[in-house]
Structure formats: C-alpha cells, structure tokens
Structure 1
Amino acid sequence: MKLQCEVEVINRMLPTFGMKNRGKGARAVLSVGRQQDKGAGGIAAIYLLICTQKDRAGSKYKLKENIEHFFTKFVEEGKATVRLKEPAVDICLSKANASTLKSFLSVVRLAHLGNTAEKLPLSILTPAKTSEVEKPKTKLTIVSKQDYPLTRNFPYSLEQLQASYCRLARIDMRMLCLKNLRKLDLSHNHIAKLPATVGDLVHLQELILHNNRLEAFPAVLCGSTLRRSLHSLDLSQNRLRALPIQFCQLQELVHLKLDDNELIRLPFHIGQLIKLRLLTAARNKLPFLPHSFQGLALENVDLFGNPFQEADPLLPSIQLKIPLTLLECAAQAVVNYRIPYASHLLPAHLCQDLDVSKRCKCGRACLNSFIHITVTMNLHNVSHTVVLVDNMGGTEAPVMCYFCSVGCYSQFLDKYLQSNR
C-alpha cells in the first residue's frame, strides 16, 4: 500500500531541548509493508516507510501497537496526522488524494492492531523509485502530433495543459480526468464538438479553443460548474453562427474572444456578464448589437469588420398585438415581478420565450408584442478602449431597442427629433 503526498515529520521532543522543527513539508511516498525483524526471531513485522527525493532509502517506523492517535478532521481536504509513541513524532500528511488517504489510514490502523497482520495484502518494503518522489508535474506543453502521448496517461497533477497543432478531432477523454486543471489550451486543432464532460473540470479557469472547427457551444456547459470557475474563453477562428441563450450563465467571464467566426448575433442577455472586461468579436457577420450590450462595463472592445446596418430610428418594425393576448400579459407579469420559472413548471417553448424577453425604455417587459428599432451607440459609452469599427475611423455601432407600446415609441421619437434639430 502506497501514498504520494507531502510529509512533515515533527519530533515532539525538540521543544524540550529548546529546539524548533524545520516546519516545512517535502514530497514523499509512504509505504506500508513487511520487513524481516531480526530482533523478533525473523518474524516479518509491518513498518511505515517514508521516502523522499533526498532520502530514497527512506525512514522506517514500526506500526504494531505504536500509534498513539490519528488526527483526521481534515481528511476530506487530503490532510491527516499520525502520532507515534516511539519515536515521539507526528507524521503530518497533506496534499493527498482524499480517497487514497482514507484507504491508507485504514491499513495503518489495522497494522497498529497487530492481530490482522497476516490478512493484509502487503509486500516487502523497497526504496521508492525516483519518479515516485519527484515533485508533481503541473504544466505540460505539446505542440506537435509526434509528441502527443498515445500509450501513457497525462500526469494527474497537471494544472496547465496545452496540446496545439496535434490534429485532434475531439477532446481526449484522458484530459477530462485531470481534476486539478486550471488552464486547457487546445488551439490549432480540428475539434468540431465539445463534450458535456468538459463541465466536470471544476477548477477550469481558462479554456482556449482558438482555430478549431466548432459549429456550436453546448448549452449544457453554461449550466455546469464552469459558470463558477471560467474566467477566460477563447472561441476565435471557428465556425460559430450563434451562442446559446444560456451562455450568459457564465457569470465569472472576464475575457471573451469570438473573432473570425460566422456570428449573426451576440448573446441576447450579454449585459448580464457583469465581470466581462475584454470582448473581441471582430470579423463576424453582426448586423447590430443586442439591447443589453449597453449594460456592459468593458476595458477593451473590438468589433472591427462586421457588416453593421445603418441605424434609422425613423423606420420602426411594428409587431404590436392589440389587445394583448393572455399569454403576453401573463409573460409580462412573470418577468416584471421576477416570478421564478423552469422547464418543470412551464413548457420548454414558453421558458425559451421568457429567456429572450425584451425590455422597453419604460422598464416594462414585452415578449411577442413590441416595436423595435436600431439606434446608434458610441462604443466608448461601454468601454475604455475601443478598436475602430471600420476603416473610416468610426467607433459607433447600431443597437437594437424595443418599445412595449406606441406611446413609449412616440416619447422616444419626440426626444430624438428634438435632439437632431
């Protein structure tokens, strides 16, 4: 039985002599096994062997009836302490896999009891291999297909992984087992689809999928643990035409890159990304920006090379229904009074309609009955730094606006005409 973790051996007698422990753990491999005990007539006794990079032969501690106490309050965090009687030391364990640590402590406890020694499936103790006591690898970069591992697994301890120019057609499932992963760079591959299991990477902060063949971003990822962890997302140079309605659930996003796709619209509620500071969506097919875009507070925005339509507030598109249908009235009430709804309460198509409800200038909601126009917005109103929208030096872009009634549109029109006299 072996356990890889950080270990600090604290001698409890040192303070008696006015001395202090070093107070620093070291990467080690702990083994519980048998070894011939010359002092006991050649009977195999069970020992705990601690091997480090500096001491691969290791230090041995007898276990039978030699444990004073187990400290396991933080075992779920991969921490525990084993207090020995002789010598008077505390063996402090940290940064261990929680389930492996529990199993290891169970074996140590059985060895301490002594009467089950023959039943434990233990081997003879041997010095640790160099690979076992080396510091865990946290970063791996692969930039060619020849270097991509086909027969061996990725180190479980990886926090940053780059696998670029490897011609990957899909995400390797072995990557999705790396639970410590914080940055995953799969740029310059041939990936066409993202599996839902990407959302199982609970610590993932940065996902780079630049220059692949993605045609969609799965809605299921927006509701996964990524909504609490993902800070940076690069989807540039793919084949995306739209992002799902649920995309704005990724509330922790700070950087979002969408350049060189085929986007015909940005997420409807993009203004809900209150932490977003950098947005690039250059060279797409955006005719206008969503109404909620005005709620962003960016540091840098780049919308160059989009075929923006010319805004004309005097040419409204009228989709009013008079009188309002019962469905429209009920939907407005749900949105205005913030009544919770979900697919287990309402039909799925109604939930989708509510998800894209519009807001009038007066603050009221509208669903399928509204007037909409495009107005010009200077991007400096939402961003400190603005990349020019076109080659003419412009920094303005059309934004969609909605009105719930003729009265609200008339009030806007009066103000607009007065300001342009």
Structure 2
Amino acid sequence: MKLICNVDVYNRLSSLAINIRQRKPQKSCLIIGKQSKENDEVYLILQTKSNKIGVKYKINNNIKKIFTKFVDEGKASFRIIEPSHDINIQCDPIQLKSFLHVLKLILLKKFTSPLSTLSDYNKKSINIVPKTKIIISKVLDYPTLKGFPKITEQLYLCGLQRKSFDCQILKLHNLKILNLSQNQLTNLPQELGMLPNLQELSLSDNQFGKCPISKWSWMNGSNITKTLRSLNLSCNKLTKIPDEISKLHALLSLNINNNLISSLPEGIGNLKKLKYLNISKNNITNLPGSMTNLRLYELDISENSFQINNDNTISVCDIKISCLVDLAAQVVIKTRIYYDASIIPFTLIQYLDKAHYCMCGVPCFNSFMRKFMPMNLSTITNSIRFSGISGNNILFDCYFCSFKCLRRYFLCV
C-alpha cells in the first residue's frame, strides 16, 4: 500500500541527528510492503524526491504509538522505537484513514490481504506528486463511501446519469475544473458558489431547463462571481437564461447553444471580460443592446430566428426623475458591490437583477426609452458565425437612460 503525503521526520536523539532529519515537511511516499516472498517481515518505506531508495522501518514490535488526534485534518504521527524517529504525516484525510487502518490491522496481525514485496516497487516509477485530476465515467467506479481527495483540482463526472448533485464536491476547496456533463441534473446547491477556486464549470447535456428560478442562486456566490471563467450550459432545454448570470464578472467563455432560448438577459453586456459566446441553435430573435459594450473574439449566433426591423419608432418612452432607490441601485451595480439575501431583502435583489442597461452602460429601472435598432455585429466581435442573416445586421433591443444617449446613438447608426 502506498500513501502520497507531506512528511516531517524528527529524530528524538537530536544530539545524534542523522541525515534523515528534515527542517520542513517534504513531499514523500510512504509504502507498506513485505521484505520478500520468502520473508513475511513487514516494513514501512519512506521515499522522497532526493532519496528514492528510501529509509526502511520495521513495523512489527517497532511502532510504539500512533497519534491520530488530528486525523480528520489529515494529520497523524508514528513513534518509531528503532531508530528513534517520529514520522509526522499530513495529507488527504480519507487516504490517511485508509492507510492507518491497514497499518493497525498489520500491528494486530489481522491483515489477511496479500502485500506486495518491496522489490515490486520500482524506484523509477515512484511518483510523489499527488493525484489532483479525477475522471469517473462508470457508475461502478463512483466513490460513494470513500469520497474524493480534498486535493482534487479537476473533477470529471460525465455520463453517469446522476439525478442529484453530490455534496461531497462542496468540500473540494482546491477544485478548479468541474465537469458534470451528460447527467440528469436539474439544479445545483447554493453552496457551490462559495467554492474559492472554481474556474471552469460544464453542465452540458443535463436537465436544467426544469430548474426553478430560485435554484440559480449559486451564481450569486461571493467566490464564484470572481473566479468562474468558463460556463457551459448547452443542451439543457433551457427556455431562459437566469438574470444572475450577469454577476459572473470573471467569465471569459459562455456556451448556451442547443437550447430553447428566445432572448438573452439584458445584464449579459455587464460581462466585460467575456470573449467567447456561443448562442447557436436557439430561438433568439434579437440581442440585448447592452451587448454593444462587449468586445468578443468569437460569436456564434447560427441557427436562430433573428428578425430585421427598420422601423425607427420608439416602442417605450418613460423618462422621469429617478427616485432614491434607483440612484442607490445604480451605484450598487456600477461599483459591483456584492449582495445577497443575507444582506438585503429578497425584493431588492429582484429589483437589482431586473435592471435594464442603457447603451452607455448605465443601469435603468423606472426611467428609460426603448427602441429596436438593427446594428452590425462587427462592432462587437472579431469573428462571427451565422446563418441566414444578410450583412451581419441583427436587431438589438436597446434601452436609453436619457434623450442625450438616444440622440448620440442615432447619430452613430
């Protein structure tokens, strides 16, 4: 049995310290194995990058005590009788508990499974870099009881037809990539938004079209709004993209192709870092005017139902003096102040999330003008993929916060 961990070895006879003494924990590999096929004596081998041959410790009648008080934190210590060493270990708690379980069975002489011999471990094949990428593509391989190592950075749970989210994932604070595609998920827990390092999230080929509005609150998480760079919601039979998506300020890539969406949330133009947008194979008829503030590298709008309308009339004109609530809401959105239901009433959250966005970028609430305007897509993207559209002209649903903005954009078009 092998355990990848950080190890600090302390020589209790410090005045007679030998070369194994370490100043700080080193990435190491602990191995339990027999001396040989002929000799059943069991040893513990400690290997490091600088010492691949390793230091060998006899196990039976040579371990005075095992300290496990902090095992839930991934810490344990072995007190070796000869030589007088304390081996301090720190690693993933789940793997550590399994390792300690085997060791205790050996000490009690109750371990019945065959152990590999020390000669079976080729020192050139020893890899003391912990496994941070987990790929599970078969239901039988899913670690239902064992769980995932806390050091996991990439987790792929694809094609398992899972109907519920595994809350063990919420403990993976090092997680950067999470792929849950080809399952039957309908929602995600709010706590997902609190993962501190999540950068890529793939939810394609699930059933999020059945997700109620209240179950998209994970997008409000104080961490995910700052870290998530790639989101894939393709093939989910979505009829609407939640307004909360405008809070994912670090988003670089958004894929929502092959759904049933008829319009995009107006706040999508608030994603200033967005560079790749795929909205192909939907029922979209126009784009929100706030998208004119984006500068994309690639835009795919093929296989949609875009309309061209050259009518210059203003469909809505409701300009009035802004109230204090509107002015305060504008400040919150423009300065990107974080808010959720624990800070402000839920009705105010809905008020903020339903903001319209002027072509100048200012959020509008009760005072605005609305007009549908055909505009050329080349002004917002370098590369366009489209079908059935003439001259790249798409109808934009535009809002204006004042007559000044309206006149300025009329002159630009």
- By the TM > 0.5 criterion, same fold? yes
* Aligned partner of 1:173 among 167, 170, 188: 167
1:222 to 2:219 alignment? yes
Alpha-carbon shift at residue 173 of structure 1 (Å): 3.2
Kept after mapping to 2: 8 A contact 1:320/1:405: no
**What code does the residue aligned with 1:189 have?**
N
**Alpha carbons of structure 1 residues 343 and 231: separation in structure 2 relative to 1, 3 Å:** closer
**In structure 2, how many angstroms separate the alpha carbons of the residues matched to 1:185 and 1:208?**
5
**In structure 2, how many angstroms separate the alpha carbons of the residues matched to 1:93 and 1:372?**
64
Kept after mapping to 2: 8 A contact 1:137/1:155: no
Kept after mapping to 1: 8 A contact 2:290/2:358: no
* Bigger Cα Rg: 1
**Alpha carbons of structure 1 residues 10 and 300: separation in structure 2 relative to 1, 3 Å:** farther
Alpha-carbon shift at residue 282 of structure 1 (Å): 0.7
**Alpha carbons of structure 1 residues 375 and 4: separation in structure 2 relative to 1, 3 Å:** same
Q: How does 1:348-363 map to 2 (within 5 A)?
A: 348-360=346-358
**What code does the residue aligned with 1:282 have?**
S
Partner of 2:136: 142
RMSD of aligned Cα (Å): 4.9
Kept after mapping to 2: 8 A contact 1:331/1:367: no
**Alpha carbons of structure 1 residues 192 and 330: separation in structure 2 relative to 1, 3 Å:** same
What TM-score do the two structures reach when normalised by structure 1? 0.66
Deviates more, 1:4-13 or 1:248-257: 4-13
Kept after mapping to 2: 8 A contact 1:148/1:166: no
Deviations 1:224-249 (A, max 9, x none): 23223322211100022223322222
Q: How does 1:25-44 map to 2 (within 5 A)?
A: 25-28=27-30
**In structure 2, how many angstroms separate the alpha carbons of the residues matched to 1:412 and 1:25?**
61
Secondary structure at 2:6's aligned position in 1? strand
Secondary structure at 2:167's aligned position in 1? coil
* Aligned partner of 1:289 among 265, 287, 290: 287
Partner of 2:397: 400
**What code does the residue aligned with 1:401 have?**
C
Unaligned stretches of 5+ residues in structure 2: 33-43, 65-72, 117-125
Partner of 2:69: none
Aligned length: 362
**In structure 2, how many angstroms separate the alpha carbons of the residues matched to 1:28 and 1:16?**
20
Unaligned stretches of 5+ residues in structure 1: 31-48, 65-76, 105-120
Partner of 1:6: 6
Alpha-carbon shift at residue 63 of structure 1 (Å): 9.8
Deviations 1:123-171 (A, max 9, x none): 94889977xx9864433333344x4437543441433232222221222
**What code does the residue aligned with 1:25 have?**
K
Q: How does 1:21-420 map to 2 (within 5 A)?
A: 25-28=27-30, 51-52=46-47, 58=57, 124=107, 136-145=130-139, 147-149=140-142, 152-156=145-149, 157-215=151-209, 216=211, 218-224=215-221, 225-312=223-310, 314-320=312-318, 324=321, 328-335=322-329, 348-360=346-358, 366-387=364-385, 389-392=386-389, 394-405=391-402, 409=406, 412-413=409-410, 415=411
Deviations 1:198-217 (A, max 9, x none): 33543322221111111247
Secondary structure at 1:269's aligned position in 2? helix
Alpha-carbon shift at residue 255 of structure 1 (Å): 1.6
**What code does the residue aligned with 1:139 have?**
K
**What code does the residue aligned with 2:380 have?**
V
**In structure 2, how many angstroms separate the alpha carbons of the residues matched to 1:201 and 1:346?**
22
**In structure 2, how many angstroms separate the alpha carbons of the residues matched to 1:390 and 1:406?**
35
Secondary structure at 1:166's aligned position in 2? coil
**In structure 1, how many angstroms separate the alpha carbons of the residues matched to 2:142 and 2:18?**
53
Alpha-carbon shift at residue 394 of structure 1 (Å): 4.4
**In structure 2, how many angstroms separate the alpha carbons of the residues matched to 1:137 and 1:16?**
31
**In structure 2, how many angstroms separate the alpha carbons of the residues matched to 1:138 and 1:273?**
30
**In structure 2, how many angstroms separate the alpha carbons of the residues matched to 1:151 and 1:342?**
33
Secondary structure at 1:193's aligned position in 2? coil
Kept after mapping to 2: 8 A contact 1:311/1:398: yes
Secondary structure at 2:303's aligned position in 1? coil
Secondary structure at 1:301's aligned position in 2? strand
**What code does the residue aligned with 1:241 have?**
T
Alpha-carbon shift at residue 314 of structure 1 (Å): 0.6
**What code does the residue aligned with 1:149 have?**
Y
Secondary structure at 1:292's aligned position in 2? helix
